[in-house]
Each structure stands twice: as structure tokens, then as C-alpha cells.
Structure 1
Amino acid sequence: MKDTLQPGITHTMTYKVPDNRTVPNLLPEAPEFVAMPEVLATGYMVGIIELACMQALHGHLDEDEITLGTHVNFSHAAPTVPGSTVTVDVKLTDVDRRALTFEMEARDEHATISTGTHQRGVVNRERFESRLPR
């Protein structure tokens, strides 16, 4: 980790929701999901928020490091329809050795859709991948 990896780093990301990021597309083999409305799926929202946090870290990690999501604690308070733009604001609030905590807020054109925190762990990519089953 570089010395610049300190609390206070902020990042804003925008994401235009495509048609295939809706609840029915999350697990198309599950009729329970297929029957749901065509709105942004919580599972996809998690990925969007993780991406914003990863982007915030550009330039602050060593070349052999990656971060992995370790905890999500945020709401999904309002629906977002395809074609809407989600804006995610993240702020790194704590660096505890290799554990990073972000505060986040996501909104679309109509409402705040999510607030909360996300934690990521800094790991050595090669060491992590060497432990994966082959």
C-alpha cells in the first residue's frame, strides 16, 4: 500500500442502468426473480458500489495488490428503472492495517437509493490466487 492510502479519499462515479441489470435478470433461472419488476437489482447495486470504491483506490495500491469486498452494510431504499443514472459518492473513512472502510451514498434522478458503509481488504494478488482451488 502506498503512503497516500489515507482516510479522506473521495470518489464519485456515475452508472447508467442498462436493461439487463434488473431483478428478473439477476437469476433468470429462478421464477421468483423473473416475476419481479424491472428495476435495478440489489445484487447489481452492490457491484456498482464496490466498483466506485475500487475506483477510489486507483493510484493508492502497490502494483501487486488488489482489494476484495469483505462487508456490505447499506440500504436499498428506492427503485431505479433502466435508463436512469446512478451517482455513487464514496469516502474512505478508516484504514486499519489492510482493512478499508468507506461511507457511501447512491442516488438516481429521483431519490437517494442507498446509504451505508462498505469494507474492503487489501491483499497480495499472487498470494490470494495461489490459494484458489485448481
Structure 2
Amino acid sequence: EMASGDAIRAALRPGWVTVGTEVDIRHLAAALVGATVRTTAKVVAVERRVIRFEVEAFEGTRKLGEGRHARGLINVESFNKRLAGTSGQAH
């Protein structure tokens, strides 16, 4: 999730953030505590306000995990207004 968020942060317009909405990861191998792990995130689709990624994690050349991840685009100001409008209401 962090690799995906970091990968697109600089491309977002001011006032916009992304939040994780889906994670589908397969763990293939373990890494030792303190090991350097390299992660990659590749954008494979943009669907309205959802950005989909293929992700991988490596220790050296050994693949530790792979999968898919999705992040939703959120306009912070609109999101905060919507939340403020629902505070105090019963759900």
C-alpha cells in the first residue's frame, strides 16, 4: 500500500489524496528482520476515482510477494464537508 501511495503522490493535484480500498497480496517468502526489502507498484488501470496497481516485493532478487492493490482518489475538502454534514446523525 505504501509503495502505491508513494508512487502517485507527486502526480496528485493539491487538495487530493488517495486511500487504500483493496488489497490482494500473495506472500511467497519471508525476509529476515532488518533485511532491506524493495517494493514496486505499477499503475495498470485508472477507473474514474480508482487507481489499480500491480505490486511486488523483493529481498535482493528473491521475490517475497506479489499482488494487486487499489487506491481511491479523495478530494480532502469535499470529504471533510461530507463528514461534517453527517456528524451527530444516527446511522
Identify which of 81, 84, 97 aligns with 2:48.
Answer: 97
Residue matched to 1:78:
29
TM-score, normalising length from structure 1? 0.57
Measured against aligned partners, the alpha-carbon deviations of 1:53-110 in whole angstroms (never above 9, x if no partner) come to 1111132111110000000011112111112011111110100111100001101137
User: Which residue of 57, 63, 76 corresponds with 1:106?
Assistant: 57
Percent identical across equivalent pairs?
33
Task: Show CA shifts across 1:16-55 (max 9, x none).
Answer: xxxxxxxxxxxxxxxxxxxxxxxxxxxxxxxxxx111111
- Conservation of the 8 A alpha-carbon contact between 2:25 and 2:66: yes
Count residues in correspondence. 85
Alignment of 1:38-49 (within 5 A): none
Say whether 1:119 aligns with 2:77: no
Deviation for aligned residue 1:112 = 1.0
Tell me the secondary structure at the aligned position of residue 6 of structure 2. helix
RMSD over aligned CA atoms reads 1.9
Question: Greater strand percent: which structure?
Answer: 2
Structure 1, gaps ≥5 residues long: 1-49
